[in-house]
Chains A and B, each alone.
Chain A
Amino acid sequence: MFRSAVKLVTPWRAIMAAFLATGAVLVFFRFTRGLGSVTNLSDQTPWGMWVGFDILAGIGLAAGGFVMAAAVYVFNLKRYRPIVRMAILTALLGYIIFIVGLILEVGRPWNMWRVITNPNIHSPLYEVSLCVMAYTLVLILEFSQVFFEKFGWDRLMAVFHRLSVMLVILGALISTLHQSTLGTLFTIAPSKMYPLWYSPLLPVHFFLSCIAAGLGMVCFESFLSERFLKHPPRMDLLSRIARFMAVMLVVYFIFRIGDLAVRGVLGLAFTAGFAALLFWLENLLFAIFPIIMVFSRGLNIGRKALFVVSFSVVLGFIMHRFNVAITSFHLVEDAGYFPSWKEFVVTACLISAGFIAAGLAVRFLPVHGEETVKSKD
């Protein structure tokens, strides 16, 4: 079990350790000297990189968990069973990281329990917090099957099996709600956002894009898993996932462009300037390039191509969330925000923690296995 033959110190581990150590120091400053001591945030830029990346992008990229779970358990696409656990694990880790990130991001985290006692149902953020809490619980329950199997708790496994569909449906509903509501958050600021990113239909944009991004992340992490954990990717499954991802990207892209056209602001995308450049770069990475690649290569898409495509989707998706949460505000009124190196390091620290947790889970738990039901009926 213990990796006696494996080198204990590798370059990647050293880098992650450095991030974790520096991150710990920065977190100390954040809690003793305020958010202003580690971030470049200001009254003009109240939300920055931590919201854009750790929260918006992080939650969206974790959407693979509910999409894959629904595919296997609801739509009965059994062939994807071998990767559903990994998708759920990624989602669970994503949400845990998100919650940790949130504790660092909000100013008064010790009041977070007030969401339960002081609800304001008119706030989109209330819905998001409620859903994130509920869905994290669902993910823990969904992932618990791995522990049941590991420790041979057959009775619990049987109970899980009976409840699994209910859980997955619940998870999919909750995910639909909060993934889209993350977009609703921004609909309250029409006059503060650049029209290429503001839309009263942002919840639909967020929902459609998170499905594609979640699937992109499933592919991307399979390659990371190969690189770092020597687990060969299931190209037969990934190429099909990529095809469905591309279909979703087509739907998203048509909706994105159509929405701009209907609201009469599509012209801005063809007006020379920084905004149009960002818009096309985002859409090239997130939609255009992946769609062309996947549809031109079909199911025979090679490893390298699929790796590039999934990386492009993930990058483009992060860019979209950044553009909505940060850039679009600055294009209207430039408050001169750029994340400080400390914000980058804390984010890197969270990602490192996620990597380490994923690595440990893969090493010690049957994550790459699939649910085997010892049915007696």
Chain B
Amino acid sequence: MAIKSFGLLIDVTRCIGCGACSENCKEINDLPPEIDDKLTAETWTVVREKSDGLHVRDLCRHCVEPACVASCLVAALTKTEHGPVVYDKSVCIGCRYCMVACPFQVPCFEWHSPNPRIRKCILCEPRVLEGKSTGCAEACPTEATVFGERETLVEMARARIKADPDRYHNHIYGLDEVGGTAVMFLSPVPFEDLDFNTDLVNYPLSDITWKILRQVPTIVAVGGVFLGASYWLFKRRDEVKKADQAVESGPEKEADDV
């Protein structure tokens, strides 16, 4: 049987904005209890109030093919087969390219530490490996955040939209965005009203960079041949010119030219 890949379904219509997810996240991941108003190195999930009294969680989306993972030059960020995108500080250089690459502005950096790490939600990887749910889903009193296999969650989301089309905007955010994410959203209103990035492509962002990087062997081969051939050609032209001059000025001078 294939390995189960997990994720979260966050239903904005059910969220009451109590913040229990953030609190439990803090406790489980040993983070200082103060909850910031945006994602920071010490706050891995926040609930923000939007217009119409809607509440929206922000957290790592655990992309199926994450840009941060592709961008990390030392593979400090990896996508595990169970779904979480996790971080290994022992190899991280702290270049912060992951932060530039992430389309959701998720990875955060410890700006005031001499030994800084990249910090973000890890989808409670240790708990997931034990067969438990994430801290946020466990704490949610209204099941606005549900933990499960991604495939199951997609079915669940589709069923909810189908059962109550008036309640939901007909889109599962994260189903196809940047090639799919493990954390998906349902909303009563279009996602741009929730300040979600709706300009995202429907394929992994790493496709763009890989399409370019793939050309490296070709560039080296073509460039090498071009430069090598140019060298030979220009040298040869020089030699011919010299030989011609030598012939013109007579054989006795030829020796000086070499």
Inter-chain contacts of A172 with B (CB < 8 A): 223, 227
A125 to B237, alpha carbons, bound, how many Å?
Answer: 40
Check A42 for interface membership: any CB of B closer than 8 A: yes
A107 and B231 form a contact (CB under 8 A):
no
B96 and A108 form a contact (CB under 8 A):
no
A74 and B197 form a contact (CB under 8 A):
no
B99 and A46 form a contact (CB under 8 A):
yes
Interface string of B240-254 (1 = CB under 8 A from A): 000000000000000
B contact residues, total (Cβ < 8 Å): 61
Check A10 for interface membership: any CB of B closer than 8 A: no
Inter-chain contacts of A185 with B (CB < 8 A): 97, 100
Given A37-B112, A109-B94, A185-B97; A75-B228 close (CB under 8 Å): no
A191 to B178, alpha carbons, bound, how many Å?
Answer: 11
Inter-chain contacts of A177 with B (CB < 8 A): 216, 219-220
A200 to B205, alpha carbons, bound, how many Å?
Answer: 11
B92 and A111 form a contact (CB under 8 A):
yes
A114 and B114 form a contact (CB under 8 A):
no
B93 and A106 form a contact (CB under 8 A):
yes
Stretch at the interface among B24-32, B103-111, B168-176: B103-111
Inter-chain contacts of B52 with A (CB < 8 A): none
Stretch at the interface among B12-20, B71-79, B133-141, B142-150: B71-79
A34 and B71 form a contact (CB under 8 A):
no
A107 and B109 form a contact (CB under 8 A):
yes
B116 and A108 form a contact (CB under 8 A):
yes
Q: Within the complex, which residue of B114, B206, B216, B224 is in contact with A31, where a contact is CB–CB below 8 Å?
A: B114
Inter-chain contacts of A106 with B (CB < 8 A): 93-96
Interface contact tally, CB-CB below 8 A: 178
Given A44-B105, A75-B230, A188-B70; A123-B97 close (CB under 8 Å): yes
Given A76-B235, A120-B73; A188-B101 close (CB under 8 Å): yes
A129 CB, nearest partner CB in chain B, Å: 6
B71 and A188 form a contact (CB under 8 A):
yes
Check B3 for interface membership: any CB of A closer than 8 A: no
B209 and A187 form a contact (CB under 8 A):
yes
Q: Closest chain A residue to B67 by CB distance?
A: A188
B105 and A43 form a contact (CB under 8 A):
yes
Starting from the known contacts A32-B114, A74-B234, A184-B213, 5 additional A-B residue pairs (CB-CB under 8 Å) come to: A43-B111, A70-B227, A114-B91, A173-B220, A177-B216
| Sample of 15 A–B contacts (CB below 8 Å) | A35-B116, A75-B230, A111-B93, A114-B91, A115-B74, A125-B71, A172-B227, A173-B219, A173-B223, A177-B216, A181-B212, A184-B212, A185-B97, A185-B100, A189-B205
